[in-house]
Chains A and B, each alone.
Chain A
């Protein structure tokens, strides 16, 4: 008959006989996906990120029904949604609050990765997919921010697109090509709309699927950094320290989600602009190409990188040159292969020449880009013999927290108008930011590493 021999009855049996994939995948990814039983607080952010992704897509669909991607109508259409569309304000605030929370959740999710070495072998691919998701998310947020067509939308886009103009030779033409006009205009709004509602979301969804598939192939890491697949129950062949994702982690995640929603909706209903951090006040002024705001700042989630961009001035190039030479020397003596040494020497010299030939603005763009791309390197930069911070020296944890503080300080100064204090703090912050990653191959090996247990540490609830 060609029907699959099914164990299910009724409708499910009927379906399973014809499409066994469905139940097989449900088992593989949900009911029989074995996750370590010692997940803690930090493990909630993955599923929360998925919830927010779905929220953004669903609310986005409804917003698209009323939004007009037209420079003459965009601003008013957003207010039309807020005032005239029944429930429109709710959908719009879900989307705007969701955007900020997407970054909060993703940053905490990434921090978890650093805390427990989730990117280490065999999970490098999961991490790479995650970094790609992060890049897509930033692109998605950037394109979406233009759509309300307020002053910050407009000038934020103007500043960022102009960054491409700093690239030597092709820069100005590239910026023009991206904008589709000599300034940000209707053409730009339309293409950003296309990217925001279809191109990037498709990529995001695809990458999220790849991220989860890759995770489920090797299995989840955990706060102890112990591979649960190394200790299987001889009778069942399942990990001794693993429990089925459903129902244990579904109920876990529902509880986490309920707390998340309290924070989310408290902001949505009582302070949707979050004092100008989630929705910038200037964005209630319609875009005006003839009037540059006195102070242009991106939304909070971009401000650490924005600080790095602003820190890179002519003054900073000298510091950067010294840092590059020192790092080049360090690498030169650390590498054993002759080819490696040659590559380091040449790269250092080329960089040094570049620092003084090309505009600092260009190097600001390079550093800003590097500050987001450097996350890709973590699986190889981290050389510690163990994964989890629990079994690494205490000062490794202190360094990680210091990095988190630097990230937040850079973020704070990115929201503030330029000032000498801002300038110097951002410079120091930029150096520390990169030092944390680039010196990791050395510092992550140092110190005493505690014995990692065979089994996860878990106390029954």
Chain B
């Protein structure tokens, strides 16, 4: 039963639907393991990663700390392990970073993450898939201001905050673009120090525009652990975007059971009355 409810919850989040697929020049998205967002230890780990790595530049102003009770965290744990400043558990997850400073440092104010998983959903991809791919899509690029770049979001303002956990990687990005007559394939290889080698070739005839990328990790174990942590983090972001989704689905099942019974009664009532009509 829990399992069924769990799957219903995923559908409820609207994120189990098959997206149309990468459009035009959009990077292909990795599938976020959706069941993660129903796994309490994963969600709690995600909350910890969120509080440690995200919550100094990004706020979650719409999220109250003790709403984390919904993923099994008690006030004491929240205070001890997650809140760094002097906030109370009844406060929301606000930050001290001033927007004007953020704009000067990163070029843009880091968005509030309260509803980010919903906000990043589109007809092309689901929000969780996008976030899962984005956070695992960083590579060293000596030519960018922060020293980092991203395959999903080229020239992203946000540096790779969790780089130490992922370990060094080499990135290969292949981009096919069209100039109207011919397709051009650009292959960029960035080594672990961020030195890029770019080769360009013109393909015969037109080809669909697309992007492909692959990474080679120097530390495979670290990279695997990093992937798991990002999955937990995204699971947490999914929870935070609509904390009431779980109870909504549970109530919904009973509402539909009731309505089914009710409609049978209504049908019977209708039939009984209409027997008189000749």
Contacts and interface: CB of A to CB of B under 8 A. Distances in A.
Contacts of B62: 76, 79-80, 83
B263 A255 contact: yes
19 contacts: A79-B114, A79-B115, A80-B62, A82-B242, A243-B277, A247-B273, A251-B266, A251-B270, A254-B269, A257-B266, A258-B263, A258-B266, A266-B256, A271-B11, A276-B121, A276-B122, A281-B122, A281-B127, A461-B271
B265 to A, nearest CB: 8
B208 interface: no
Given A275-B14, A284-B118, A460-B277, 16 more contacts: A79-B114, A83-B244, A248-B273, A248-B274, A254-B266, A254-B269, A255-B263, A258-B262, A258-B263, A262-B256, A269-B249, A273-B118, A276-B122, A286-B112, A458-B277, A461-B275
Contacts of A458: 277
B123 interface: yes
Contacts of A271: 11-12, 14
B14 A269 contact: no
Contact of B259 (A248, A258, A286): A258
B264 to A, nearest CB: 9
Majority secondary structure of chain B interface residues (helix, strand, loop or mixed): helix
Which 5 pairs of residues, A with B, have the shortest CB-CB distance? A269-B252, A258-B263, A284-B119, A255-B266, A284-B118
A30 to B, nearest CB: 15
A282 B263 contact: no
B248 A269 contact: yes
Contacts of B224: none
Interface in B113-169: 114-115, 118-123, 127
Contacts of A285: 111, 119
A269 B243 contact: no
A91 to B, nearest CB: 12
B83 to A, nearest CB: 19
Chain B interface category by residue count: 35 or more
Contact of B251 (A269, A281, A282): A269
Contact of A84 (B64, B259, B262): B64
B260 interface: yes
B267 interface: yes
Interface string B93-117: 0000000000000000001101100
B248 A89 contact: yes
Contacts of A284: 115, 118-119, 241
Chain A interface category by residue count: 35 or more
A80 B62 CA distance: 7
A265 B243 contact: no
Interface of A: 37, 76, 79-80, 82-84, 89, 243, 247-248, 251-252, 254-255, 257-259, 261-262, 265-266, 268-276, 281-282, 284-286, 458, 460-461
B266 A275 contact: no
A108 B123 CA distance: 27
Interface string B227-258: 00000000000000111100011011101100
Contacts, number: 106
A262 B271 contact: no
Nearest to A273: B14
Contact of B61 (A76, A248, A252): A76
B278 interface: yes
B200 interface: no
A76 B63 CA distance: 11
Contact of A251 (B242, B249, B269): B269
B17 interface: yes
Contacts of A80: 62
Given A79-B114, A255-B269, A262-B259, A281 B12 contact: no
Contacts of A272: 14, 248
A63 B67 CA distance: 22
B8 interface: yes
Nearest to B12: A270
A319 B64 CA distance: 58
B263 A262 contact: yes
B118 to A, nearest CB: 4
Contacts of A251: 266, 269-270, 273-274
Contacts of A252: 270, 274
A100 to B, nearest CB: 14
B123 A276 contact: yes
Contacts of A259: 263
A276 B15 CA distance: 11
Contact of B12 (A83, A269, A276): A269
A274 B11 CA distance: 10
A80 B115 CA distance: 12
B68 to A, nearest CB: 13
Contacts of A261: 259
Contact of B256 (A265, A274, A275): A265
